[in-house]
Chain A
Amino acid sequence: ELKVEQNPLFLSMQEGKNYTIYCNYSTTSDRLYWYRQDPGKSLESLFVLLSNGAVKQEGRLMASLDTKARLSTLHITAAVHDLSATYFCAVDSGYGGATNKLIFGTGTLLAVQP
């Protein structure tokens, strides 16, 4: 059974600082997604990573995927308050022939302090 773990669960950081959120998963998969959720809101798609070594960047966020290590990272550069939210990774439970069934991580609550 696929398990997806994120760490840290909570991250308080100052504006202007850099940090990384980690997403580990337990079984082979080559499709991983990152989502953002603001308090009381729905989930918004950030990145789709579809192969080993994939790297995507949008603004101050950069995501990467290492399928051999079963690890994805979400790197935050020079954080700003607007990035405060909960970030989820989600992994497709299939490999090769993807199932399109996503298992979500526990989420990382990011609070950027001025």
Chain B
Amino acid sequence: DAGVIQSPRHEVTEMGQEVTLRCKPISGHDYLFWYRQTMMRGLELLIYFNNNVPIDDSGMPEDRFSAKMPNASFSTLKIQPSEPRDSAVYFCASSRGPGRGYTFGSGTRLTVV
């Protein structure tokens, strides 16, 4: 089991550019989560999916952020246009279900200059 796989590991982009973060959950995990971690705000849940369907996107900061899960093995988080305040580490996590906990990916460190 390769775990939750995120790409890229690091991304540096200029303000105004589009950024796409990718995640492959663990096979058989029906839940997928996107979190953002910053020093100021800690770990924030952005959105989560169950069986590829978005369940709660109340944490998505604004319309510049969008997330998709076209199939059980792939999800993307897109920021368009990016801004310096989007700089953070973005984690993807997957889970078999309630009470089973999450497995986190290695994260993508995003820097917007």
Report A's interface with B, CB cutoff 8 A.
31, 33, 41-45, 48, 50, 88, 92, 94, 97-107
Q: How far is the CB of B105 from chain A (nearest CB, A)?
A: 6
Report B's interface with A, CB cutoff 8 A.
31, 33, 35, 42-43, 45, 48, 50, 55-56, 91, 93, 95, 97-107
For the complex, what is the distance from the CA of A104 to the CA of B45, rounded to whole Å?
9
For the complex, what is the distance from the CA of A43 to the CA of B105, rounded to whole Å?
8
Q: How far is the CB of A41 from chain B (nearest CB, A)?
A: 8
Residue contact A101 to B103, C-beta cutoff 8 Å:
no
* A100 and B91 in contact, given A42-B105, A43-B104, A106-B42 (Cβ under 8 angstroms): no
Residue contact A101 to B45, C-beta cutoff 8 Å:
yes
Interface of A, secondary structure class, is: loop
* A33 and B101 in contact, given A42-B107, A100-B31 (Cβ under 8 angstroms): yes
- Residues of A close to B48: CB separation below 8 A: 100-101
Point out the residue from B43, B95, B101, B103 that lies within 8 Å of A88, measured CB to CB: B43
Q: How far is the CB of A28 from chain B (nearest CB, A)?
A: 15
- Residues of A close to B56: CB separation below 8 A: 101
Point out the residue from A43, A50, A101, A107 that lies within 8 Å of B99, measured CB to CB: A50
Q: How far is the CB of B103 from chain A (nearest CB, A)?
A: 7
**8 smallest beta-carbon distances between A and B, as pairs:** A98-B98, A104-B43, A100-B98, A43-B104, A42-B104, A45-B101, A48-B101, A42-B106
Most buried by B among A42, A44, A98, A103: A42
- Residues of B close to A98: CB separation below 8 A: 98-99
Residue contact A31 to B103, C-beta cutoff 8 Å:
no
For the complex, what is the distance from the CA of A33 to the CA of B55, rounded to whole Å?
21
- Residues of B close to A106: CB separation below 8 A: 42
Q: How far is the CB of B25 from chain A (nearest CB, A)?
A: 13
Q: How far is the CB of A67 from chain B (nearest CB, A)?
A: 14
